[in-house]
Amino acid sequence: MTSKTKRVIVSRIVLTLCVISAIFGIAFLFWILFVLLYKGFFALNLDIFLHNAAPTGVEGGGLKNALIGQVMLVSFASIIGIPIGILAGTFLSEYGQKNKIANIIRDISDIMMSSPSIVIGAFIYAILVHPVGHFSGWAGIAALVVIMIPIVLRVTDDMLLLVPQTQREAAAALGAPRYKVIIGVVYRGAKIGILTGALLSIARVSGETAPLLFTSFNNNFFSTDLNAPVSSLTVTMFNYATSPYADWQSLGWAAAFLLSVFVLGINIIGRLIIKKRR
């Protein structure tokens, strides 16, 4: 057997193993999605959006408090985290290209992006929950902000670096100050990428459960007071899915379906924006 024949045989074996592995992984993925969509879709009803969670042992109830709480947490986290991430990414790209501190910030940002969210939740618990003595919505928002900032920062930094330097130089040659060059030229050239990064960060924090268990905890009643525990869709889904009651488990599937549809929608929007850009 020649060496060429051996290489062909090894190549075909590796290719076959790769195809089998891909089919195996995709089959499990579609199985999970099918079960989620099947059980979640048929668990949906109008009461889920109109009624709050029912007490233990009482049939019925909905997820209105959890839905509104989730929207509050993600909205406030986005309002705080996205601008900070964009400004930090702007500093790294426009003012810190040859700065050692900027490189350190990039490394820290990469570490934060890969760190488990439960670690961030424990950190926020130690500095915002334990000293105060109670859970709060603001603590949950802070945990989500800490998760969002590194994502937006890195995406903004990368997108701004893709803007040609000649455009900056042309704007500066026309007499535009540095801040106007950034706002009018650099941001305009990278706006699609920055928007995509913001959407991806929203999709990331929308499905977080562990940090909210340490910070905002949960609330079985309708409440918009962010100084107290606030209900969230992810924590409610976790509690209902692990409960022994069939009606709560059904609501857990419905919550999982709604959350999956939202995250999937955000990702689809981001990909459509990228496709339009291309």
Of the candidates 242, 264, 262, 263, the residue with the CA atom closest to the CA atom of residue 252:
242
**Is residue 100 assigned to a domain?**
yes
What CA–CA distance (Å, rounded) separates 210 from 232? 12
For the record, the structure tokens of 231 come out as 């209900």
Give me the DSSP letters along 102-139: HHHHHHHHHHHHHS-HHHHHHHHIIIIITTTTS--HHH
For the record, the structure tokens of 255 come out as 């919550």
**Is residue 49 assigned to a domain?**
no
Give me the CATH number covering residue 169. 1.10.3720.10
For residue 170, give the amino acid letter.
A
pLDDT digits (tens, 9 = 90+) for 44-92: 888 899 888 887 777 778 899 999 999 999 999 999 999 999 999 999 9
The pLDDT of residue 1 is above 70: no
What CA–CA distance (Å, rounded) separates 63 from 132? 28
- Give the global pTM: 0.88
Q: How many CB atoms lie within 10 A of CB 243?
A: 14
**Is residue 58 assigned to a domain?**
no
What CA–CA distance (Å, rounded) separates 38 from 69? 25
DSSP state for residue 183 in the 8-state scheme: I
For residue 107, give the amino acid letter.
D
What CA–CA distance (Å, rounded) separates 68 from 65? 5
The rounded Cα 208 to chain-centroid distance in angstroms is 7
**Is residue 39 assigned to a domain?**
no
Enclosing domain of residue 222: 69-277
Angle, CA 266 vertex, CA 21 and CA 253 arms, to 5°: 70
What CA–CA distance (Å, rounded) separates 55 from 221? 9
For the record, the structure tokens of 72 come out as 């509050």
Quickly tell me which residue has 């990039």 as its tokens. 106
How confident is residue 233, by pLDDT bands cut at 50, 70 and 90? very high
The rounded Cα 135 to chain-centroid distance in angstroms is 22
pLDDT at residue 151, as a whole number: 93
pLDDT digits (tens, 9 = 90+) for 132-188: 999 999 999 999 999 999 999 999 999 998 899 898 889 888 888 988 999 999 999
User: What share of the chain has pLDDT > 70, as a percent?
Assistant: 98
**Is residue 88 assigned to a domain?**
yes
DSSP state for residue 17 in the 8-state scheme: H
Give the chain's domain count.
1
**Residues 5-28: b if buried by 16+ CB within 10 A, e if exposed:** eeeeeeeeeeeeeeeeeeeeeeee
Task: Identify the H or E element spanning 249.
Answer: helix 246-277
**Is residue 56 assigned to a domain?**
no
The pLDDT of residue 274 is above 80: no
Q: How many CB atoms lie within 10 A of CB 198?
A: 23
pLDDT at residue 75, as a whole number: 95
**Is residue 152 assigned to a domain?**
yes
How confident is residue 99, by pLDDT bands cut at 50, 70 and 90? confident
What CA–CA distance (Å, rounded) separates 60 from 50? 11
Q: Residue 231 phi/psi, 5° resolution?
A: -75, 150
pLDDT at residue 33, as a whole number: 87
The pLDDT of residue 94 is above 80: yes
pLDDT at residue 8, as a whole number: 84
- Mean pLDDT, the chain, rounded, equals 89
Is residue 36 within 8 A of residue 256, CB to CB? The reply is yes
**Is residue 27 assigned to a domain?**
no
- Dihedral-angle region of residue 60 (phi above 0 means left; psi in -120 to 50 means alpha; beta otherwise): left
